[in-house]
């Protein structure tokens, strides 16, 4: 197993946690921040962080390191142009919350990079270097894109980095990932926002005064910084429209049943069954895979589709 060095571009909550986790796992790791203050803060914590992206990328090319892009989607083109200029064939992954848009940007701005998309499904309501935690990814799902044509050697690098951080490797095609997170990550943020607005939208303060556990839990993620929610959800527009339409359809059918028969049985039992299915999915089966043989990427995608995770390599 290669203990490949890691170069992290962007040292916010995700990038900063990744640097801490990779270092703890014994990897050589360096990074860059767009902010001199953040870089100084990270150096004060003992990490090798500068603002010189070109230099960091050159070191990555020289060391054959894995570069991880942990910057917001809107900043990607600028960073990818530097990759193409300085380290055009570098091993490249990312930690951005959508996968099709990132793959498109890489194809356009750094087409020679050996890119395999990634998405560690972890976070807190905090942000910035100081919020980072070496343990952030422990037992979290870490999606590794498994579209045809990817570099299998880099696929191995990304999976091994995820394992080094304590995460579970979930292979998925980029578009399947985007559809899935629209349902289970982006839609929850939008429903939480709608619920919070309805609860706070009355003419007086009585509803909020009576709001207890169900409202507190149902609106928790509405407390996230709006800019982060917007970047995440708006970057997944097409997939999100489908998820919103599904929710609208179910809510509309429920409204009709409530108005006509007064009955909510179908809605409430379907929701209960869904929650039970989620609870039953919390301890996924780990399978060992091979990156050799015929169509290894199709086999990887099948692992993710059946709710399992990749736990190691076949001997």
Of residues 188-207, which lie at the interface with a copy of itself (CB under 8 A)? 188-202, 204-207
Residues 6+ apart with CB under 8 A from 234: none
CA distance 15 to 59: 18
Residues within window 97-126 making contact with a copy of itself, judged by CB under 8 A: 121-123
- Residue 37 binding a copy of itself, by CB under 8 A: no
- Residue 133 binding a copy of itself, by CB under 8 A: no
Closest distance to a copy of itself from the beta carbon of 159 (Å): 16
Closest distance to a copy of itself from the beta carbon of 151 (Å): 23
Closest distance to a copy of itself from the beta carbon of 291 (Å): 20
- Residue 67 binding a copy of itself, by CB under 8 A: no
Choice between 8 and 179, CB closer to a copy of itself: 179
- Residue 216 binding a copy of itself, by CB under 8 A: yes
* Three-class secondary structure of residue 112 per DSSP: coil
Choice between 260 and 315, CB closer to a copy of itself: 260
CA distance 90 to 64: 7
Angle, helices 76-86 vs 100-109, to 10°: value is 40
CA atoms within 13 A on the CB side of 258: 9
Per-residue binding string, a copy of itself, 291-310, x by CB under 8 A, is: -------------xxxxxx-
Question: Could you tell me where the DSSP H helices lie in the chain?
Answer: 13-24, 36-44, 53-63, 76-86, 100-109, 152-164, 174-181, 187-200, 206-210, 213-218, 226-234, 237-260, 265-280, 296-305
Residues within window 255-274 making contact with a copy of itself, judged by CB under 8 A: 255, 258-259, 262-265, 267-274
CA distance 271 to 222: 21
Query: Contact 289/303 with Cβ under 8 angstroms?
Result: yes
Closest distance to a copy of itself from the beta carbon of 104 (Å): 16
Residues within window 220-249 making contact with a copy of itself, judged by CB under 8 A: 220-224, 226, 229-230, 233-234, 237, 240-241, 243-248
Query: Contact 16/120 with Cβ under 8 angstroms?
Result: no
Choice between 85 and 270, CB closer to a copy of itself: 270
Q: What angle do CA 113, 116, 119 make, to 5 degrees?
A: 130
Closest distance to a copy of itself from the beta carbon of 286 (Å): 12
Choice between 72 and 88, CB closer to a copy of itself: 72
Tokens of 116: 């395999």
Choice between 68 and 239, CB closer to a copy of itself: 239
Closest distance to a copy of itself from the beta carbon of 81 (Å): 24
Choice between 29 and 101, CB closer to a copy of itself: 101
Indicate the DSSP class of residue 129. G
């Amino acid at each position: 197993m290669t203990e490949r060095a890691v170069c992290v571009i962007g040292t916010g909550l995700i990038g900063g946690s990744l640097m801490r986790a990779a270092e703890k796992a014994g990897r050589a790791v360096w990074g860059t921040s767009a902010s001199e203050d953040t870089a100084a803060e990270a150096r004060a914590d003992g990490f090798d962080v500068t603002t010189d992206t070109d230099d960091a990328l050159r070191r990555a090319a020289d060391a054959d390191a894995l570069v991880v892009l942990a910057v917001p989607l809107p900043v990607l083109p600028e960073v990818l142009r530097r990759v193409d200029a300085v380290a055009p064939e570098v091993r490249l992954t990312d930690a951005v919350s959508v996968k099709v848009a990132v793959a498109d940007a890489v194809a356009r701005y750094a087409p020679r990079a050996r890119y395999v998309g990634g998405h560690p499904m972890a976070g807190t309501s905090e942000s910035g270097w100081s919020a980072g935690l070496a343990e952030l990814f422990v037992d979290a799902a870490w999606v590794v894109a498994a579209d045809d044509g990817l570099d299998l050697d880099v696929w191995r690098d990304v999976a091994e980095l995820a394992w080094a951080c304590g995460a579970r490797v979930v292979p998925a095609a980029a578009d399947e990932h985007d559809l899935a997170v629209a349902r289970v990550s982006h839609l929850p943020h939008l429903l939480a926002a709608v619920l919070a607005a309805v609860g706070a939208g009355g003419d007086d303060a009585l509803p909020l005064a009576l709001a207890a556990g169900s409202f507190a839990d149902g609106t928790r993620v509405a407390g996230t910084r709006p800019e982060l929610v917007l970047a995440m959800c708006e970057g997944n527009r097409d997939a999100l429209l489908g998820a919103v339409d599904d929710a609208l359809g179910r809510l509309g059918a429920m409204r009709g049943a409530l108005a006509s028969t007064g009955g909510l049985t179908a809605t409430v039992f379907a929701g209960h069954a869904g929650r039970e299915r989620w609870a039953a999915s919390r301890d996924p089966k780990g399978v060992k895979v091979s990156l050799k043989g015929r169509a290894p990427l199709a086999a990887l995608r099948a692992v993710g589709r059946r709710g399992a995770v990749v736990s190691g390599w076949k001997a």
